[in-house]
């Protein structure tokens, strides 16, 4: 259960400086390497589709593996903050209408059942999806979210914090319940 006056900060692991520099060099080398792989070996026509598939598969795996490295989730009395610096997103508890756990991979995703429903023991949730009250807050939909059909939920919290996702979900629901039950909940526009 949350403490009434404090904040809880969860930090995802971050890459050391040397590894982060190597990661940047890998991203910068990706496009020239792809171009060389496709256009340098003309006598072998099978190389082009093989290299494209290999690069896309490696890129999808890599992107999923290092996504949200170094991100912070801060739970406060009024809401939660996700990210840091220019990517910081603040959400108030009073604006959230639903939290749910889900499993999202590189090429697939599925919503997890509630605690009283049967759940496949091999599939563990790795994200918390949340929906906002659209009457209280304006929501922004990118073209990508519309394209992939991600229009029901308004945000994703990828759990890279070292806490089981089910525990994180219960904790966030507890903080929200305490904020909504509090008599001194500050009401102000979004």
Across the range 98-109, mean pLDDT stands at 76
pLDDT-derived band at 21 (thresholds 50, 70, 90) equals confident
Tell me which fold the domain 72-181 belongs to: PH-domain like (2.30.29)
- Name which of 89, 93, 90 is nearest 175 in CA terms: 93
Q: pLDDT by residue (tens digit) across 163-187? A: 888 889 989 999 899 888 875 655 6
The radius of gyration computed from the CA coordinates of the chain, to the nearest angstrom, equals: 21
For residue 3, the model assigns a pLDDT of 47
Q: What 3-state class would DSSP assign to 106?
A: coil
Residue written as tokens 């060389």?
36
- The sheet carrying 89-92 orders its strands as 8-11, 72-75, 79-82, 89-92
Across the range 90-119, mean pLDDT stands at 77
Across the range 134-161, mean pLDDT stands at 75
- Residue 51: pLDDT above 50? yes
- Residue 63: pLDDT above 70? no
The domain segmentation of the chain, as residue ranges, is: 14-66, 72-181
| Separation of alpha carbons 64 and 168, rounded Å | 20
For residue 4, the model assigns a pLDDT of 47
Of 44 and 10, the structure prediction assigns the larger pLDDT to: 10
For residue 119, the model assigns a pLDDT of 67
For residue 108, the model assigns a pLDDT of 63
Whole-structure pTM value: 0.66
Q: What 3-state class would DSSP assign to 20?
A: helix
For residue 1, the model assigns a pLDDT of 47
């Amino acid at each position: 259960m949350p403490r009434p006056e404090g904040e809880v900060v969860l930090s995802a692991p971050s890459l050391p400086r040397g590894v982060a520099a190597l990661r940047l060099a890998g991203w910068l080398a990706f496009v020239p390497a792809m171009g060389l792989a496709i256009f340098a070996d003309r006598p072998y026509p099978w190389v082009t589709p093989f290299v494209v598939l290999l690069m896309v598969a490696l890129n999808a795996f890599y992107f999923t593996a290092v996504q949200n490295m170094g991100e912070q989730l801060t739970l406060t009395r009024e809401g939660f903050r996700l990210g840091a610096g220019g990517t910081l997103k603040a959400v108030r508890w009073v604006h959230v209408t639903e939290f749910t756990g889900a499993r999202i991979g590189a090429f697939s995703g599925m919503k997890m059942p509630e605690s009283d429903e049967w759940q496949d023991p091999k599939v563990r949730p790795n994200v918390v999806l949340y929906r906002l009250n659209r009457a209280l807050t304006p929501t922004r939909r990118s073209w990508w979210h519309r394209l992939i059909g991600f229009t029901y939920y308004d945000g994703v919290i990828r759990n890279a914090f070292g806490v089981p996702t089910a525990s994180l979900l219960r904790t966030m629901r507890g903080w929200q319940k305490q904020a909504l039950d509090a008599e001194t909940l500050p009401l102000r526009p979004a």
